[in-house]
């Protein structure tokens, strides 16, 4: 057998059995059956090509080869466990829940955080839900969205503005355009139009409805129509030229995006760094 075939999971079984010199006690510590312990030891003996134990009527004894091998294997396995434990302690996995509507803003920031701090790993779960219940959900942090929120830290307030691809042609009164709605109703567009000086001239004759704002924004980028979107979420699309703002007017909705962190002694330092980087990116 080559060295890569070394049954590493059997090494621990050998070490535990060598310490107890009793299959019953070894099986109990390893949460295995006695038969499973015997098979693992047999596989290791087969790999080495010599017996590790001698079976006597009064129990097990280490063979001469097993006795010589035991201290070195014990030290090597202990070093492996130490290295792995140190790596585990240095790595902080932040389990983050975030609504899909925040992805355009969030993902570039997560990439920057992981590049800047490799010891921080963000396990992202996306959802159409806008809240989180830390008592019942297994997350370390969450981005929540809604009106009149005060939990956690403010990321940004929602402010709506129309956006479109440069390929979309429409006049300054929004005549002849397809209105892209981020929900099944027309609430967002209606809110913005209520503050638009020429709103009396606007009739939303052609409409397309989407389940999320991100889908409506993507449709706008492809020239499907004019979307109503949060100005923070589309800031990078505007900067890159994927979208344009036909009007400077934006309207705050009273809703906001906020970061909420679970109290955790085990991850306190990592979560604090994650929070600082998300709130104050370099």
Q: Does 3.20.20.140 match the CATH number of domain 8-89?
A: no
pLDDT for 79 equals 85
Q: What is the pLDDT of residues 96-106, one digit of tens each?
A: 999 988 999 99
Strand 153-163 versus strand 226-230 pairing type: antiparallel
Listed in sequence order, the residues at least 6 apart from 267 whose beta carbon sits closer than 8 Å to its beta carbon are: 92, 94, 140
Count Cα neighbours of 236 within 13 Å in the Cβ-side half-sphere: 10
pLDDT for 155 equals 96
What whole-number distance in Å separates Cα of residue 6 and Cα of residue 103? 45
What whole-number distance in Å separates Cα of residue 255 and Cα of residue 232? 13
pLDDT for 18 equals 92
State the maximum Cα–Cα separation within the chain, in Å, rounded to a whole number. 100
Report the pLDDT averaged over residues 118-133.
88
Residue 146: which region, alpha, beta or left (left: phi > 0; alpha: psi -120 to 50)? left
Per-residue pLDDT band for 260 (boundaries 50, 70, 90) equals: very high
pLDDT for 89 equals 58
pLDDT for 266 equals 75
pLDDT for 122 equals 92
In whole angstroms, what separates CA 206 from the centre of its chain?
A: 38
Q: Angle at the Cα of 8 (from 6 to 13), degrees rounded to 5?
A: 125
Per-residue pLDDT band for 232 (boundaries 50, 70, 90) equals: very high
pLDDT for 191 equals 95
- Of the two residues 83 and 184, the one the predictor is more confident about is 184
pTM of the model: 0.66
Strands (E) across 164-250 are located at 178-181, 206-209, 226-230
What whole-number distance in Å separates Cα of residue 31 and Cα of residue 38? 13
Three-state SS for 191?
helix
Positions of CATH 1.10.10.10 in the chain: 8-89
pLDDT at 278 over 80: yes
In whole angstroms, what separates CA 128 from the centre of its chain?
A: 15
pLDDT at 239 over 90: yes
CB-CB contact of 26 with 17 (8 Å): yes
What is the rounded average pLDDT for all residues in the chain? 89
Q: What is the pLDDT of residues 166-199, one digit of tens each?
A: 887 655 568 888 999 998 889 999 999 999 988 8
Number of C-beta neighbours around residue 136 at 10 A? 6
Three-state SS for 209?
strand
Topology classification of domain 158-253: D-Maltodextrin-Binding Protein; domain 2 (3.40.190)
CATH number of 92-156+256-279: 3.40.190.10
Positions of CATH 3.40.190.10 in the chain: 92-156+256-279, 158-253
Per-residue pLDDT band for 263 (boundaries 50, 70, 90) equals: confident
Report the pLDDT averaged over residues 57-81.
88
CB-CB contact of 16 with 77 (8 Å): no
What whole-number distance in Å separates Cα of residue 30 and Cα of residue 149? 49
């Amino acid at each position: 057998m080559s060295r890569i075939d070394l049954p590493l999971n059997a090494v621990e079984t050998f070490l535990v059995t060598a310490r107890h010199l009793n299959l019953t006690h070894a099986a109990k510590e390893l949460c295995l059956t006695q038969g499973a312990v015997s098979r693992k030891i047999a596989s290791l003996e087969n790999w080495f090509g010599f017996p590790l134990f001698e079976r006597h009527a009064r129990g097990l004894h280490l063979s001469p080869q097993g006795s010589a091998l035991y201290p070195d294997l014990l030290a090597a396995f202990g070093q492996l466990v130490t290295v792995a434990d140190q790596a585990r302690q240095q790595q902080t996995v932040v389990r983050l829940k975030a609504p899909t509507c925040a992805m355009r803003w969030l993902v570039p920031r997560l990439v920057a955080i992981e590049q800047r701090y490799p010891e921080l790993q963000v396990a992202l779960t996306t959802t159409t839900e806008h809240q989180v219940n830390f008592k019942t959900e297994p997350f370390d942090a969450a981005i929540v969205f809604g009106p009149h929120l005060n939990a956690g830290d403010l990321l940004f307030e929602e402010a709506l503005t129309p956006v479109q691809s440069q390929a979309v042609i429409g006049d300054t009164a929004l005549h002849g355009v397809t209105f892209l709605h981020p929900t099944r109703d027309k609430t967002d567009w209606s809110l913005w139009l209520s503050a638009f000086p020429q709103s009396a001239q606007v009739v939303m004759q052609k409409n397309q409805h989407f389940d999320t704002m991100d889908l409506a924004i993507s449709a706008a980028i492809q020239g499907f129509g004019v979307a109503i979107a949060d100005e923070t979420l589309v800031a990078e699309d505007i900067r890159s030229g994927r979208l344009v703002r036909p009007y400077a007017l934006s309207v705050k909705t009273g809703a906001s995006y906020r970061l909420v962190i679970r109290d955790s002694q085990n991850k306190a330092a990592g979560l604090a760094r994650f929070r600082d980087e998300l709130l104050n990116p370099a």
